[in-house]
Every structure is written in C-alpha cells, then in structure tokens.
C-alpha cells in the first residue's frame, strides 16, 4: 500500500501569492518575503529569525517551499497564545486556504509533515482527546527505569563498535542511531529495522525531494507492524494502542506510531548531538560539571533552551479572522511556531548568557494542549546515553577546531553533520555502568518487542550484527572522571 494523505484537496502547481495575502508584505527585496526554504535560512536560521523579529515583531510573514505564504510566530508569549487557544487556531490542516484552493503541489516536501492525517496532531476537540489519551497512556506505561535499560544496552553496543579505534564520529556512529534503536524496542520492532528508519525519518523531516518516498517507506513498515501485532500482541506501544479503550482503527494506530517514531527520533538525535557538542566544547559547561554546579540533566535542559531539537513546527491554522502579535491573520492562514526564536525572545531572556538550571519553561517540546507527551523518553535517552559514553571514554575530546563543525538545516531542524572525536583506545566492554545519575542500574532485560517475528521489511538490507553486550561492572559517576581528566590537562 502506498502512503496517502486522506481528505486532502486536489492540488496543482503553486502560483504566485494572491493579492491581500501576507506574501505581499515587503521583506528584504522587492520580490516578496523571507523564505524559510533557501540559502539564508539554511546558513543562519537564528539570524534570520532575529531579522524577522526586528522588522515585523513577534509574528512575521514568510514564504514556504513553492513560495506558499505563512506566518512564523517568534515571540514566546505569542507562541503560548497560539498553541493554547484552539478556538482560534486549529490543528486541522484541511482549513489551510492553499489546500482548499489547490495551490499545494502533490509532490510538495511540506506534505509529509502538514497533510491532514487521522491523528491527534491534526484534530481538535473530543476526537483529539480520544486519540491523545491512547498515545499518552501507551507512552506512560514505560517507566524511565525500563527505558534506560534499553538505552544502556544499545549505548554499549554502539560504543563497542569504535572504542578500540581511539577515534569516532559521534554523529554517524552514535547519535544518529541510538534513539531509533531504543524506539524500535518500545514499538515492538526487531533491532535491525533501525538503520533504514533513521535514514527515512531524517529525509522526511528535512523536506527533500525524496521526502514523500521516505514517508511511504515508513508507512508501509508500520502497517506491517500493526497487522502482526493484531495477531500476536506484545509488551509494546503498538499492542497497547491496539488494545486501548479508545478503540483505534488500524489506520489510526499506524498513523500515531508514525508520529511517535518521527517526532521522538528527530528530536532526540538532535538533543544528543547538541548536548555532546556543549559538553565537549563549552568551557563553562566543563567548569560547572567539574565543580559540581551542574549535572548532566542540567546540561540537557540548557540545550533545550539554547538549541531546541526542532527550530520550528507546523502548525496552526487560523479558524477565524483574528490578530496576534500585532498582525492581522485571516481565517485559513497557516502559522508556524518558531520554538527556537521563542526560547531566545528578549522579552523573557534579556541575557542569553544567564544559566537556566532547573528551568523547564522552554518551548522545546511545544506547549499547550499539544505539548509532546513523550518528552521524558528523549531526556532518558540523552541523559543515560551520554553518561555511559563519557564514563567509558572519560578523555574523549573534539579532534578538530570547534569552528570547523558544520550544520545542515531544513525548514524545521538544524543539526550537526559530524562530531569527530579522539580518546584513549579501550577494549570493548572494559567499563560498564552500574548506577547512573538517576540511580539507574545496567541489568539487562528481555526486549519489549517480539524481536524474532517473521516477515520482511520493504526494500531493507540487513545491518551488520552489533557486538555482544558488555558485562556490567561498577564505576564512579562520569563527572568525577571528567573532573580528574580536566585537572590533568
């Protein structure tokens, strides 16, 4: 079965913006507005957001791919207002005027992320509540301790793949893989599904020319999973969604699995990269960790303020003519939530250098009725994975100057392309955690999914088997090792 976007109006190639729409506001040049797709946004998205804020205020008109007009909400308070007022700002993308008027091309890279689907992200009212309850209940059935055991197992497997070399790329060999490996367990998939799903989810979120095909691959994979779990349920999110009292259809189940898979993987991968970069390059972070003023969870929260995993998210659609941030928004207009810009809003953070220890009021996981229900899974993966990495490789350090690091940007994300490091070579499994900063032990448990079920994965080439899981041994907290290493530098 191919991926589809149900109840979506027929679309044709986009034409120029019609008179009276926000795209006729002038920004930067005579031909229209700033583009969220393009060189300027890719090179310096935060700079673009600040220029938009300076010219337009907390809500600015922009152009999306195909020169489709929309608004981006840059102000912290305005994001809370839009996210928390479903009576004026709906999640139903079918209300977008450009869908209704057939101006969104059928191959638009926007479609995988904004085309209407039968999931709580695109619904309002009681129907949204029914579906969101099933997702929230399913995710909450995993306690953090159980998740951390899976993180521990896969973190050791990944580190064993490069520990003996004395060098690695922590993006390509660690951060890009760990979240999806954990998620395959939570959803009840075999371990080997991870590599292709990593590639497909990243391509889809980036909005490339192949994003529609990547979305189709993910959909087919999840449809097969739901069919199998109907016949053979297990101890996993897929089975719990099927069994929930909300009585989800198969289509509703796999659509919500897709949301969980894409959102959790993309955000956690970026969180891992940014946190590792901060630990390895920021002298203030080194000093605070070594001196005991910060813990690793503190670093994670600081990253969620400074570099949220998603720069912008779609979306809200005005259900009535209204006003927000001084801009007159017409019914049917799209609004993007600029999470990164909101976290840097001078109205709430006049001094960006002030630490925000313990402050979780950032917008990294959105806000209001649609706040991410799986945010603690991302935190558990980042906290535990990085703690184990730095314990096993206490002298790990960046192998190139920080200014040579490179990023890749899409309309929703900005992420490191590589993080090359060096460290003292170690035999695989020579150091394994017992109790981490949250008091988590490394004893292994039976995988949550039925790893051995039959069937084939569409167009999938099996990955090379991972090395054996190391035998746990006692160790001291990683910040003690880091402190000793810093004193010796």
pLDDT tens by residue, 421-436 = 999 987 765 544 433 3
- Return the axis-axis angle of helices 296-306 and 375-392, rounded to nearest 10°: 120
What is the rounded average pLDDT of the residues 156-176? 95
Q: Please answer whether residues 221 and 51 qualify as being in contact, where contact means their C-beta atoms are separated by less than 8 angstroms.
A: no
- pLDDT attached to residue 354: 83
Query: Strand 313-318 vs strand 334-337: parallel, antiparallel, or unpaired?
Result: antiparallel
* Residue 156, both tokens: 């050791």
C-alpha 318/C-alpha 87 separation (Å) is 9
Burial of 156 from C-beta contacts in 10 A (0-12 / 13-18 / 19+): buried
pLDDT tens by residue, 41-94 = 878 889 999 999 999 999 999 999 888 999 999 999 999 999 989 999 999 999
What is the rounded average pLDDT of the residues 207-216? 83
Rounded to whole angstroms, what are the CA distances from 55 to 60, 170, 288, 330, 340? 8, 39, 37, 20, 18
Query: Strand 68-73 vs strand 334-337: parallel, antiparallel, or unpaired?
Result: parallel
C-alpha 146/C-alpha 97 separation (Å) is 45
The label of the residue with tokens 């190391």 reads 470
* Residue 405, both tokens: 């690091």
- pLDDT attached to residue 143: 61
pLDDT at 167 over 70: yes
C-alpha 344/C-alpha 354 separation (Å) is 12
| Choice among 36-45, 76-85, 403-412 with the minimum mean pLDDT | 36-45
Q: Please tell me whether residue 298 adopts helix, strand or coil conformation.
A: helix
Q: Please tell me whether residue 27 adopts helix, strand or coil conformation.
A: strand
Nearest in space to 139 (alpha carbons), one of 234, 241, 228? 241
């Amino acid at each position: 079965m191919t991926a589809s976007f149900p109840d979506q109006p027929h679309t044709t190639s986009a034409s120029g913006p019609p008179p009276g729409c926000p795209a006729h506001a002038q920004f930067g040049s005579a031909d229209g507005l700033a583009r969220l797709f393009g060189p300027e946004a890719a090179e310096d998205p935060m700079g673009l957001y600040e220029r938009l804020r300076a010219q337009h205020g907390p809500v600015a008109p922009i152009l999306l791919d195909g020169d489709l007009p929309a608004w981006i909400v840059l102000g912290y308070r305005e994001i809370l207002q839009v996210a928390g007022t479903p009576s004026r700002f709906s999640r139903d993308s079918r209300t977008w005027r450009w869908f209704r008027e057939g101006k969104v091309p059928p191959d638009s890279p926007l479609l995988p992320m904004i085309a209407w689907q039968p999931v709580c992200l695109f619904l309002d009212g009681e129907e949204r509540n029914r579906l969101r309850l099933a997702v929230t209940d399913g995710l909450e059935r995993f306690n953090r301790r159980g998740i951390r055991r899976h993180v521990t197992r896969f973190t050791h497997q990944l580190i064993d793949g490069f520990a003996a070399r004395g060098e690695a790329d922590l993006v390509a060999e660690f951060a890009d893989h760990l979240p999806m490996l954990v998620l395959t367990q939570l959803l009840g998939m075999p371990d080997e599904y991870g590599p292709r799903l990593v590639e497909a989810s990243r391509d889809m979120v980036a909005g490339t020319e192949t994003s529609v095909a990547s979305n189709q691959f993910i959909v087919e994979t999840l449809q097969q999973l739901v069919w199998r779990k109907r016949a053979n349920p297990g101890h996993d999110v897929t089975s719990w969604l099927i069994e929930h009292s909300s009585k989800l259809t198969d289509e509703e189940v796999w659509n919500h699995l897709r949301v969980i898979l894409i959102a959790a993987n993309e955000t956690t991968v970026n969180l891992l990269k940014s946190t590792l970069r901060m630990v390895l390059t920021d002298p203030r972070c080194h000093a605070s960790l070594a001196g005991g003023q910060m813990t690793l969870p503190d670093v994670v929260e600081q990253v969620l303020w400074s570099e949220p995993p998603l720069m912008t998210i779609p979306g809200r659609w005005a259900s009535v003519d209204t006003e927000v941030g001084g801009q007159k928004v017409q019914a049917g207009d799209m609004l993007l939530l600029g999470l990164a810009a909101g976290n840097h809003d001078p109205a709430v953070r006049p001094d960006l250098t002030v630490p925000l220890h313990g402050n979780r009021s950032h917008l990294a996981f959105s806000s209001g009725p649609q706040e991410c229900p799986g945010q603690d899974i991302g935190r558990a993966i980042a906290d535990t994975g990085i703690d184990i990495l730095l314990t096993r490789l206490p002298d790990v350090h960046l192998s190139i100057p920080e200014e040579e690091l490179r990023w890749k940007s899409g309309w929703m994300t900005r992420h490191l392309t590589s993080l090359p490091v060096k460290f003292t070579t170690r035999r695989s499994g020579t150091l394994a955690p017992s109790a981490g900063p949250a008091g988590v032990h490394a004893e292994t448990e039976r995988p949550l999914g039925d790893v051995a079920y039959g069937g084939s994965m569409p167009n999938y080439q099996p990955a090379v088997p991972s090395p054996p899981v190391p035998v746990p041994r006692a160790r001291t907290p990683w910040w003690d090792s880091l402190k000793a290493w810093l004193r010796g530098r």
